[in-house]
Amino acid sequence: MMFRTLFDRDTWQEIFGSIQKNKLRTVVTVIGVLWGIFIYITLSGASKGLDNGFERQFEEVAINSLFVWAQRTSIPYAGFRTGRPMQLKLDDQAYLMHHIPELQYIAPRVAQGVFGDQAPLIKRGSKSNNYALYGDFPILVKIASKNIYDGGRFINQADIDQQRKVCVIGERTQAELFEKKEDPIGAFIQINNVYFQVVGVHKFTPGGGFESDSDIFIPFSTFKILYNTGQNVDWFAMAAYDNANVILVEEDIKTALKVKHRVHPDDARAFGSFNLGEVFNKIKGFSSGMNILSLVVGIATILAGVIGIGNILLISVRERTKELGIRRALGATPSEVRMQIIIESVFLTLIAGILGIILGSFVLAIINVITAEGSSIPYTNPTVPIKFIFGALGLMVGLGTLIGLIPAQRAVSIKPIDALREE
């Protein structure tokens, strides 16, 4: 019965005839449903684009990473006065790994020309410039990976053990110190008048904090000799395990460092930190909130629009009372009349949904073009999973069917004799 009514030519003629009689009301109501799914598509896509953008922005850094450095004490303790300058040491690495089981990697780092001090002068032949210099361990790439161009490499353990004078330069450093087609791998540059062999060129990717496309990396052990820094560490780059609570890990790290360096337990200024994992969690939370908001607002707007369609059909049934009575008198069964009204409701809802999806996809495509690669905005590829789109469309059809039952039941309840008497 349903399929016969659905593919009956007379059914669709009556549906389109009813729509033509109420063009303005139909268009306004369809726009209401269209607007609901449009809001859902655009808000969901926008939140996904934001999520993708931050993942792209920080794709080279471990999600559960954090950075800790030493500052000055703010509370006197154990005979030490306020304002005592703190200094991280190389053996803090083993101490923290032993006391904080949630830590997966720790990379001690030292630098010159990063925190306001003079960047070293780097020379090659007649060309020279000042670039930031880092002393690092190979484990750094486990926390903040380095994209090394083909043919090169990053610092390895043999470089550390043998205190080799090797370096990894940035792509801008290569452009400024080398000729355009010259291969820098194997060539030498001077760092503080000491020759270092270039073993790699790194491609700069945003999200690494204060690093840039001109940075130079050398073995930590070589940096220690070059600048006589001994066991000093400027800061630690760390990564916790994926299932760890990075906020608690950060607190535990500072607590452990306070114990080791004899700092008051309540001193909040002795050690500074930046918790990238916490930032990621906030971004994920914001994105999830946007998804929930888009779902709630979209469903509410769709529901309001579908109710509008039900109202239009109720008015239509009331206006077609005599017509429906004639159909009943000529032999139309209640199920046929009911099915016609429901099909009209579902048809209007489905058309509105498809138009809303098309419009929302068009807006997301425009946003994607505006925020394409090269844009400084942390935003990319705003999309909505196809299963969510079909789910929203299925919800709309379901609501259209349910709301269509009301005017359909009204149409069925009309007695043929009463309809024929109505003027």
List C-alpha distances in Å: 384 to 123, 294, 377.
Answer: 51, 11, 20
Q: For residues 295-311, give the mean pLDDT.
A: 72
Give the domain-ending residue among 231, 256, 277: 277
Q: What pLDDT, on a 0 to 100 scale, did the predictor assign at position 261?
A: 95
pLDDT at 337 over 80: no
Query: Taking residues 208-224, what's their average pLDDT?
Result: 85
Summarize the confidence of residues 308-322 as an average pLDDT.
Answer: 65
Q: Are residues 181 and 294 in the same domain?
A: no
Chain segment 47-96, per-residue pLDDT in tens: 777 777 766 666 667 778 899 999 999 999 988 899 999 999 999 999 99
Cα 53 to Cα 9, 48, 378, distances in angstroms: 50, 8, 4
Q: Name, in order, each residue with C-beta under 8 angstroms of 217's C-beta and a sequence gap of 6 or more.
A: 133, 134, 135, 136, 146, 154, 155, 167, 168, 202
Stronger pLDDT, 9 or 114, i.e. the higher one? 114
Taking the C-alpha atoms of residue 9 and residue 360, their distance in angstroms, rounded to an integer, is 33
Chosen domain end from 218, 249, 277:
277
* AA identity, residue 257: L
| pLDDT, position 71 | 95
Least Cα distance to 310 among 30, 5, 109, 3 occurs for: 30
Dist CA 33 CA 214 (whole Å): 53
Q: What is the pLDDT of residue 321?
A: 61
> Which amino acid does the sequence have at 7?
F
Which position has the higher pLDDT, 229 or 410? 229
What per-residue confidence (pLDDT) applies to 332?
A: 62
Q: What is the pLDDT of residues 90-128, one digit of tens each?
A: 999 999 999 999 999 999 999 998 877 888 999 998 999
Range of the domain at 208: 65-277
Report the mean per-residue pLDDT for the chain. 81
Question: Looking at residue 133, what is its pLDDT?
Answer: 95
Residues 108, 251, single domain; the answer is yes
For residues 182 and 227, membership in a common domain is answered with yes
Q: What's the structural domain count of the chain?
A: 2
Query: Which of 15-29, 106-120, 233-247, 250-264 is predicted with the least confidence, judged by mean pLDDT?
Result: 15-29
Max Cα distance, the chain (Å):
108
Same domain, 78 and 194: yes
The answer on 320 and 251 residing in a single domain is: no
Same domain for 394 and 358, yes or no, is yes
What mean pLDDT is predicted for residues 4-21? 61
Q: How far is CA 48 from CA 45, 59, 289, in A?
A: 5, 16, 11
Name the more confident of 136 and 397.
136
Same domain, 117 and 253: yes
Are both 202 and 318 inside the same structural domain?
A: no
pLDDT band at residue 1 using 50, 70 and 90 as cut-offs: very low
Q: What is the pLDDT of residue 258?
A: 95
- Of 239-243, 374-378, 395-399, which one has max mean pLDDT? 239-243
**Least-confidence region, from 135-144, 146-155, 176-185, 414-423:** 414-423
126 and 14 in a common domain? no
Q: Is the pTM of this model over 0.85?
A: no
pLDDT of amino acid 51: 73
Per-residue pLDDT, 61: 72
State which of 13-22, 204-213, 314-323, 334-343 shows the largest mean pLDDT. Answer: 334-343
Residues 175-212 pLDDT 10s: 999 988 889 999 999 998 899 999 999 987 654 456 78
Q: Please compute, for residue 69, the number of CA atoms within 13 A of its CA located in the half-sphere on the CB side.
A: 9
CB 100 within 8 A of CB 252: yes
For residues 399-412, give the mean pLDDT. 69
pLDDT at 309: 66
Q: Are residues 286 and 270 in the same domain?
A: no
In a shared domain, residues 217 and 363: no
Q: Do both 151 and 263 map to the same domain?
A: yes
Which of the listed residues 209, 243, 277 is the one where a domain comes to its end?
A: 277
pLDDT for res 3: 45
**Share of residues in the chain with pLDDT > 70 (%):** 76
Residue 228 has pLDDT above 70, yes or no: yes
| Residue 378: pLDDT over 70 | no
